[in-house]
Amino acid sequence: MVLIFLIGCKTKHEEINTKNADTTLIESPILNDDTISIQEIENSWKVALEINEGYFESYTINYNNGKQLTVPVDNNIPLIGGVDHSSAHFINDTTYFVPHVAASKNGHFELYIFKNGSCRYQEVITRKQKKTIIDEVETVISQAQQTNQKQPEINNNYTQTATEIKFTRKIIDFGDSSIGCSNSQIEIVFSIPTSATDTFYMANNDLKTIDFSYHYSGGLYEETSQELLKGYIKGTKQIDNSWLIETDFWFKATSFPQGKEVEKKLKLNEVYQ
């Protein structure tokens, strides 16, 4: 009998953030000399992954008694991008392991499929985080650990017409080249009347007069907003005709494809040229 031993390791830079698809966390013993072999496990129950154009959609368990169970992808888990085709395998008699079911904002998701039909998505954080804009906890733009990783690109500019001054902030995160679809982009736009020649200050209800928009896109996940809730925005024109913009306000964003609404906070102290 050939026994297969599976050994996992984690670097000192790696964090684990666990999100459970089932309400009960199932822990199973690791296969050892006293348990059944991988071949015997596969004969007891088999797992088939449904992957459409590179993206994970569902898994199906076929039991040796003829029963079959199909479970679709959990849309509450923020999966980004496609499956990395590393080898999925049984790790013990009750658990099937998919090492890379999709990318995430800061790494990738593993998937543990259990014999009873439940599963667990586990996010492996592999990149440092750099704070940029804040939501309920904080929204981040990833900062790669590798020295050859291209750094995020941030552009602040404004244009002026006869009626308005339009400010645009664009952030491009090039992601990790080793992870598919890990790049992302944020664009924040707002406009004020041209009558604000040197300074302006707008707060709370006055913010509703600002032509504001926010858009985040990364992989298969997006967020959009055009609704400011409260706070303030302040602008001061500089000697070189640039604008120093300070913001501390809340806005409501809607996610896609989940369709969930979240409140986010934008706090900036930036120069727009």
pLDDT tens digits, residue range 118-159?
999 998 887 654 444 444 333 333 333 444 457 788 899 999
Q: How confident is the model at residue 40 (pLDDT cuts 50, 70, 90)?
A: low
Work out the angle at residue 160's Cα, subtended by the Cα atoms of residues 157 and 162, and round it to the nearest 5 degrees.
170
Contact 165, 211 (CB under 8 A): no
- CB under 8 Å to 239, separation ≥6 — which residues? none
More confident residue, 21 or 177: 177
- Residue 21's pLDDT is 36
- Residue 119's pLDDT is 93
User: What is the DSSP annotation of 37-54?
Assistant: -HHHHHHHEEEEEEEETT
**Hey, which residues does 195 pair with through a beta bridge?**
none
pLDDT reading at 222 higher than 70? yes
- Residue 127's pLDDT is 62
Of all residues in the chain, what percent carry a pLDDT higher than 90? 27
Q: How confident is the model at residue 82 (pLDDT cuts 50, 70, 90)?
A: confident
More confident residue, 203 or 5: 203
More confident residue, 257 or 32: 257
Say whether 65 sits in a helix, a strand or coil. coil
Contact 252, 229 (CB under 8 A): yes
Which strands sit side by side in the sheet containing 68-72, from one edge to the other? 45-52, 55-63, 68-72
- Residue 18's pLDDT is 38
Q: For the whole model, what pTM was predicted?
A: 0.47
- Residue 93's pLDDT is 87
Q: What is the pLDDT of residues 9-20, one digit of tens each?
A: 333 333 334 343
More confident residue, 30 or 272: 272
- Residue 83's pLDDT is 85
CA–CA separation, 60 and 33 (whole Å): 29
Q: Average of pLDDT values for 262-271?
A: 87
Q: Whose structure tokens read 């129950």?
A: 45
Min mean pLDDT across 8-22, 71-85, 101-115 is at 8-22
Q: Average of pLDDT values for 77-105?
A: 85
Q: How confident is the model at residue 69 (pLDDT cuts 50, 70, 90)?
A: very high
Q: Whose structure tokens read 């706090």?
A: 267
Closest CA to 121 of 85, 93, 80, 87: 80
